[in-house]
Chains A and B, each alone.
Chain A
Amino acid sequence: KAGVTQTPRYLIKTRGQQVTLSCSPISGHRSVSWYQQTPGQGLQFLFEYFSETQRNKGNFPGRFSGRQFSNSRSEMNVSTLELGDSALYLCASSSSPKTGANTGELFFGEGSRLTVL
């Protein structure tokens, strides 16, 4: 069974640019979550999507957005990049039923490492 796939793995951008990261969940998983990991703030929840709907959002500015497609693939976008957006962005998928209570674990991808210069 293929795991969670994130692309690109590494990317470098400059301040003010925007970036789009992609996540392909495990086949059959309908929930996709995004996390940001930085040395200073650690792992922080960004948002979660289920059946193309955002169910929950963390405490991040509106520059951070995402979406989910009908095949459960998800993208997140960061606009007007700042130096502080340099981080490892992790995507996780799960087989969460619509009620919101998960039946199992979150499967994480290897992440997309973004460097903002």
Chain B
Amino acid sequence: AQKVTQAQTEISVVEKEDVTLDCVYETRDTTYYLFWYKQPPSGELVFLIRRNSFDEQNEISGRYSWNFQKSTSSFNFTITASQVVDSAVYFCALSEGIRDYKLSFGAGTTVTVRA
């Protein structure tokens, strides 16, 4: 069975600080996809990144960066120089094999960025 663990329930930082969100997953599939989504107060889940299980290249996109380590089953996410608009709940998710419409989500980490 799929399982995604986000150990951090809440993180509070002051603007311009960096924030790293941890995600650990369990799966028996050899091919799968990992995702990060952001959920602002409006409720809509906003896609941030998707990573294939066979692609461990880390990525930086603007203020966001991701660290995927298959050996430790971790897919961490960092926001550099956080801003108040980054305040949201962030979810890590894992697909059931290649069925990436069927996701198992972590419990989410609430990020609060204070001005």
B43, A96: Cβ atoms under 8 Å? no
Report A-chain residues with C-beta under 8 Å of the C-beta of B100.
Answer: 94, 101-102, 106
Interface size class of B (residues with CB under 8 A): 20 to 34
Tell me if B103 counts as interface (CB < 8 A to partner A): yes
Tell me if B25 counts as interface (CB < 8 A to partner A): no
Tell me if A62 counts as interface (CB < 8 A to partner B): no
Tell me if B11 counts as interface (CB < 8 A to partner A): no
Count how many pairs of residues, one from A and one from B, have CB atoms less than 8 Å apart in the complex.
66
Per-residue CB contact flags for chain A residues 51-64 toward chain B (1 = under 8 Å, else 0) read 00001101000000
Most chain A CB within 10 A, of B33, B47, B99, is at B99
Number of interface residues of A (CB under 8 A): 28
Tell me if B50 counts as interface (CB < 8 A to partner A): yes
Tell me the complex Cα distance, A111–B46, Å.
12
B44, A42: Cβ atoms under 8 Å? no
Per-residue CB contact flags for chain A residues 21-37 toward chain B (1 = under 8 Å, else 0) read 00000000001010100
Contact of B45 among A31, A42, A45, A108 (CB under 8 A): A108
A100, B99: Cβ atoms under 8 Å? yes
A88, B103: Cβ atoms under 8 Å? no
CB-CB under 8 A for A42 and B105, given A56-B99, A101-B98, A110-B42: yes
